[in-house]
Amino acid sequence: MRRSITLPLLARLSAPASGQGWVGLLLVALPVLLLAWLIIYPILSAVASTVFVTQQDGTSALSFASYHFFFSDQYSRANLWVTLWTTLICGLLLLATGLPIALYLRFSHGPLSTYVQGLAIFPMFVPSIILSYALIRTIGPNGAVDVLLNAVGSPKLPSPYLTPWGPVIGLVWDNLPLTVLMLTAGLGNIPKSSIEAARDVGASPPRVFVSIILPRMGNSLLVTTSFAVLGIFSSFTLPYLLGPASPEMMGPFMQRTFSDMNDPVNALTQAVIAFGFCLVFGIFYVRSIARNRGGV
């Protein structure tokens, strides 16, 4: 008798859950389809366009000639190297600059911390094109820095404008707000009781940072680094306006190959290679999110 009552009850309890599952799938169906149409399909199409080359008789044949040309061409390799160098330097500078600011904002209170937070987030509301010309008028030849140095009788310093350090300065400034916000959010997840307990037993601030804060910031640091790398590697405006003409980062290189040289195949090849490097950090980010949700 008990079994005959339990089975219909379980069936009624499981029915709403199954219905909610279908409703959830229907809700995410449209975003997934848009993702497949606007992102996944163009990626697959770009890869196919670079490895299946149309010959003179109208047939397509498998060919890696464009990739062989890229990695055998000294100028292309130099552009890839300067992009990797810029990304690495910017990532290190962002962590070295953003982490102290995030620590200060997390453990400080008062009007000064509010002003610091406002200054750190302010570049987020400045368009890249305006930031580029502001930096040109500041650190460029005969800019504000040159004028001030000349006014106090100091020697003229080489300008980072139109050198590999020009995009580094602009990209660090442009990506600093997101870095600070993400690191501050990660620090907010650390229980304050753990920090106070370490202080009660006599731990110094460096010891608290190394033993309590830093081990729990691994996921936030990984996510922050992934976002910074993805943004820097695919940047265009700041490297185009602040960087040298040769070597150049992959963003301006792809645009010039496509428009100035009218070579879409090699431009797509450069885009696929850039996507391959970004995919590595994208996988790190996805695995980090899945690990937090208990999926991995």
- Would you state the structure tokens that stand for residue 78, as one six-digit string? 């130099």
Residue 289 has pLDDT above 80, yes or no: no
Q: Looking at residue 21, what is its pLDDT? A: 66
Classify residue 269 by burial, with Cβ atoms within 10 Å: 0-12, 13-18, 19+: buried
Contact 170/232 with Cβ under 8 angstroms? no
Confidence of residue 76 (pLDDT cuts 50, 70, 90): very high
Q: What is the pLDDT of residues 9-46, one digit of tens each?
A: 444 544 444 556 677 777 778 888 888 888 888 888 88
What tens digit of pLDDT does each residue of 223-266 get?
A: 888 888 888 988 899 999 999 988 999 999 999 999 888 888 89
What whole-number distance in Å separates Cα of residue 164 and Cα of residue 141? 15
pLDDT digits (tens, 9 = 90+) for 91-136: 999 999 999 999 898 888 778 888 888 888 888 888 889 999 999 9
Q: Is 230 helix (H, G, I), strand (E, B) or coil?
A: helix
Contacts of 227 (CB under 8 A, 6+ apart): 178, 179, 182, 285
Q: Report whether pLDDT(4) > 60.
A: no
Average pLDDT in the chain: 83
Contact yes or no for 83/236 (Cβ under 8 A): no
Instruction: Give the separation between CA 244 and CA 23, rounded to whole angstroms.
Output: 53
Residues 144 and 121: their CA atoms lie apart, in Å, by 23
Residue 254: the pLDDT is 92
Contact 241, 136 (CB under 8 A): yes
End-to-end CA distance of the chain: 43
Percent of the chain with pLDDT over 70: 90
Beta-ladder partners of 61: 53
Question: How would you class 142 by CB atoms within 10 Å of its CB: exposed for 0-12, middle for 13-18, buried for 19 or more?
Answer: exposed
Average pLDDT over residues 208-234: 84
Collapsing DSSP to helix, strand or coil, 108 comes out as: coil
pLDDT band of residue 150 (cuts 50, 70, 90) is confident
